[in-house]
Structure 1
Amino acid sequence: MKKIVIFLLSIFLLNGCAAMFNGTTQQVAIRSHNPKAKIYVNDMYLGQGDVVTSFKKKNAYTIRVEQEGCNAITIPVSKSFDPTTLLGTFIDLGIVSIFVVDGIGTGAWQQFDQTSYVLDAKCPA
């Protein structure tokens, strides 16, 4: 019985509310009007035209779109506070669930402001 109680407590303490309800990653779609435009995230090539990828909430990202004969465009991906994180105050007053798990451990206390982008390189007229 003692092992079951310890196991259940560890599940609650090792998962913050934002991580439990909204996960530690978000799926992001990036699209260009030109199907031959090259799409990069953090300087890593992902594909041409349309891509779908998963962003870890803990990391920072930039998206770059390049097209032959055009100037590349680069934008940072913005994040904001995920209010679901505040539910951790009911578990352990937020000491472990918010600061340690959702904040430092997983970054789940943030969420990406956009999950869909349409970007085109700047081409001369």
Structure 2
Amino acid sequence: MKIIIASSYFLLTSCATIFTGTTQKIVVQSVPDGATVSVDGMQYGQTPMDLKISRTVFSDKTLIVELDGYKTEMFILPKKFNYVSILNFFNWLGWGIDVISGAVVKYDRDYIMLNMKSNQLNSYNLHELNKNDLGYYILPEESNSFEIVDKKNNMKLVFTE
């Protein structure tokens, strides 16, 4: 009986490390394709891609996606508790190994889809824009970033998100 208890103690050591590993695959896609993906300053490749990233408890991972002509997207990968770690029960050695290896947490997402936003401005000539009944100018298309040029008064107004 003591052998069974001792064996189970060591078999259940670091359950999350054994069952879920210390790395995680995250699929990263963007529209358009071809954006460069970096994590903590290290380039991993271009979208679409399968990003294999190590888990860590004590620091956050910052994901940066860049593409010429588009705004750079940057965010911290959210983490959550890896419930497989509960199999350690009262095994402090197992908990310690899972914490040190990072297996006690996992990233909240397995798939990231980014619609890249253009950083180029739509340009409109003030005197070519239509007005509504209240006298407000009407833009020909919806845009969050644009410029309005008034050539007669040599002025340019820039609106960005």
Write the letter of the residue equivalent to 2:11: F
CA RMSD of aligned residues (A): 2.3
Write the letter of the residue equivalent to 1:120: N
- Contact 2:31–2:114 (CA under 8 A) maintained in structure 1: yes
What TM-score do you get using the length of structure 1 for normalisation? Answer: 0.77
- Contact 2:82–2:104 (CA under 8 A) maintained in structure 1: yes
Identity of aligned residues (%): 24
Equivalence for 1:23: 21
TM-aligned CA deviation for residue 17 of structure 1: 0.9
Equivalence for 2:148: none
Structure 1 residue runs of 4 or more that deviate by more than 4 Å after TM superposition? 8-11
TM-aligned CA deviation for residue 37 of structure 1: 2.0
Q: Which has the higher strand share?
A: 2
TM-aligned CA deviation for residue 94 of structure 1: 2.5
Equivalence for 1:75: 75
Residue 91 of structure 2: which of 77, 94, 100 is its match?
94
SS of the residue corresponding to residue 47 of structure 1 reads: strand
- Structure 1 segments unaligned to the other structure (5+ residues): 1-7
Q: Which has the higher helix share?
A: 1
TM-aligned CA deviation for residue 22 of structure 1: 1.0
Instruction: Give me the whole-angstrom Cα distance separating, in 1, the residues matched to 2:109 and 2:54.
Output: 14
- Structure 2 segments unaligned to the other structure (5+ residues): 1-6, 120-142, 144-161
Relative contact order, CA 8 A, sep 6+: which one is greater? 1
**Change in 2 beyond 3 A, CA 1:55/1:36:** closer
Q: Which has the larger radius of gyration?
A: 2
TM-aligned CA deviation for residue 117 of structure 1: 0.5
- Contact 1:66–1:72 (CA under 8 A) maintained in structure 2: yes
TM-aligned CA deviation for residue 49 of structure 1: 2.3
Instruction: Give me the whole-angstrom Cα distance separating, in 2, the residues matched to 1:83 and 1:49.
Output: 30
Does 2:105 align with 1:110? yes
Q: In the TM superposition, what whole-angstrom CA distance separates every residue of 1:91-112 from its partner, at most 9, and x where no partner exists?
A: xx221111x1111x21111011
- Contact 1:27–1:55 (CA under 8 A) maintained in structure 2: yes
Instruction: Give me the whole-angstrom Cα distance separating, in 2, the residues matched to 1:119 and 1:63.
Output: 12
Instruction: Give me the whole-angstrom Cα distance separating, in 2, the residues matched to 1:36 and 1:110.
Output: 30
